[in-house]
């Protein structure tokens, strides 16, 4: 109903300015947000090589052999060279490395945290199985881990 | 021609809000293009329940993608928008060196979970020969993320 003295008006939203403000807010939050990627990474230093063949270490490295018996994560086959026959899974390796660390704060063990660990996979070993062993060593806080030539 | 008694009516597009919105769209797409990593091709990366891997930073990097078949054989490498045969070490060197000289701080190795290790090692050996390329990052899927 039209009242005396009042113009008939249509109530509407001004879309342009609304889009304007919405985009500004969107860009503000995009810039302010730190996007979390769905990927993570292990840092590794490639070893200095002498005449393309051998890698030099100050200490005798702990050598871990890795192979694959299937495609699943639990199909990893591994062994540690030396008198440690019972270390045959990444979980056992992690516990073994953790138990035998000599941290200089009273914990007695065979290895310091910078003791060289050499992972020596078979040439057909699956990349996931190689990294499962790498992950176990990183979990145990060891820092000097290298991937060796395939056997 | 304006006739007598007829009001002048010209259709005008209001340019100010249009320019406003167009500029916002440009800024939006520029911001998005900074976030989207076009070098990371979709791969079935290794994933672990209890991962000790670190988060990936936003710094400039060279991403080396090893594309393998079901038997784990890697025949092709995708790096910086180029598809390179795994035997073509010279081209791989040239692209990675260009990236490092252009300010890339890290080399990220992305390989499928079933890729055979010998091919990954070939890439290591190849990268190892380059100046200033002694640090690599081995990329996995972060299930927690």
Cβ–Cβ below 8 Å for A130 and B120: yes
Q: Which residue of B has its CA nearest to A121?
A: B117
Tell me whether A122 touches chain B (CB under 8 Å): yes
**Is residue A124 included in any domain, yes or no?**
yes
CA–CA gap between residue A119 and residue A80 (Å, rounded)? 9
Q: What is the pLDDT of residue A52?
A: 47
Q: What is the pLDDT of residue A129?
A: 92
CA–CA gap between residue B63 and residue A41 (Å, rounded)? 12
User: Which residue in the set B24, B35, B113 is minimally distant from A35, CB to CB?
Assistant: B35
User: Which residue in the set A30, A49, A138 is minimally distant from B128, CB to CB?
Assistant: A49
SS (H, E, C) A97-145: HHHCECCCCCCCCCECCCCCEEEEECCCCEHHHHHHHHHHHHHCCCCCE
Which residues of chain B fall below pLDDT 50?
A: 1-2, 145
Instruction: Respond yes or no on whether ipTM tops 0.90.
Output: no
Convert the pLDDT of each residue in B30-48 to its tens digit: 877 766 666 778 888 888 8
| Domain boundary assignment for chain B | 61-138
pLDDT along chain A (151 residues), means of 10: 58 79 84 75 72 57 88 86 80 86 70 86 91 90 86 85
**Is residue A5 included in any domain, yes or no?**
no
Q: What is the pLDDT of residue A51?
A: 47
- Those residues whose C-beta lies under 8 Å from the C-beta of residue A98, and which sit 6 or more positions away, are A140, A141
Convert the pLDDT of each residue in A91-133 to its tens digit: 888 888 888 887 666 667 778 888 888 899 998 999 999 999 9
Q: What is the pLDDT of residue A131?
A: 92
Exposure class string for B80-107: b at 16+ Cβ within 10 A, else e: beeebebeebeebbebbbebbeeebebb
**Is residue A17 included in any domain, yes or no?**
no
Question: According to CATH, what is the number of the domain B61-138?
Answer: 3.30.420.270
**Is residue A53 included in any domain, yes or no?**
yes
**Is residue A6 included in any domain, yes or no?**
no
Q: What is the pLDDT of residue B145?
A: 45
* Domain with A92 in it: 49-147
Convert the pLDDT of each residue in A113-124 to its tens digit: 888 888 999 989
Tally of structural domains, chain A? 1
Exposure class string for B13-22: b at 16+ Cβ within 10 A, else e: eeeeeeebbe
**Is residue A78 included in any domain, yes or no?**
yes
What is the rounded average pLDDT for all residues in chain B? 81
**Is residue A116 included in any domain, yes or no?**
yes
């Amino acid at each position: 109903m039209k009242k005396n003295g009042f113009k008939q008006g249509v109530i509407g939203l001004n879309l342009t300015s609304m889009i304007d403000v919405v985009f500004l807010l969107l860009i503000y939050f995009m810039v302010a947000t730190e996007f979390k990627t769905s990927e993570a990474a292990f840092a590794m230093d490639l070893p200095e090589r002498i005449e393309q063949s051998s890698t030099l270490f100050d200490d005798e490295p702990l050598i871990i052999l890795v192979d694959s018996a299937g495609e699943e994560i639990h199909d990893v086959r591994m062994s540690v060279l030396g008198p440690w026959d019972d270390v045959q899974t990444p979980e056992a390796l992690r516990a073994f490395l953790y138990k035998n660390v000599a941290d200089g704060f009273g914990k007695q063990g065979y290895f310091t945290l910078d003791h060289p660990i050499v992972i020596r996979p078979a040439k057909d070993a699956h990349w996931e199985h190689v990294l499962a062993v790498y992950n176990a060593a990183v979990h145990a806080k060891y820092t000097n881990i290298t991937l060796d030539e395939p056997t | 021609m304006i006739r007598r008694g007829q009001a002048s009516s010209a259709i005008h597009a209001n340019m100010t809000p249009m320019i406003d919105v167009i500029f916002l769209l440009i800024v939006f797409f520029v911001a998005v293009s900074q976030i989207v990593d076009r070098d990371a091709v979709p791969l079935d990366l290794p994933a672990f329940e209890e991962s000790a891997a670190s988060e990936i930073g936003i710094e400039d990097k060279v991403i080396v993608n090893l594309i393998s078949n079901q038997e784990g054989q890697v025949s092709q490498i995708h790096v910086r928008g180029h598809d390179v045969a795994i035997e073509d070490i010279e081209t791989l060197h040239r692209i990675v060196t260009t990236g490092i000289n252009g300010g890339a701080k890290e080399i990220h190795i992305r390989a499928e979970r079933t890729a055979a290790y010998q091919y990954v090692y070939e890439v290591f050996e190849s990268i190892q020969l380059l100046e200033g390329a002694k640090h690599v990052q081995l990329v996995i899927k972060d299930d927690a993320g």
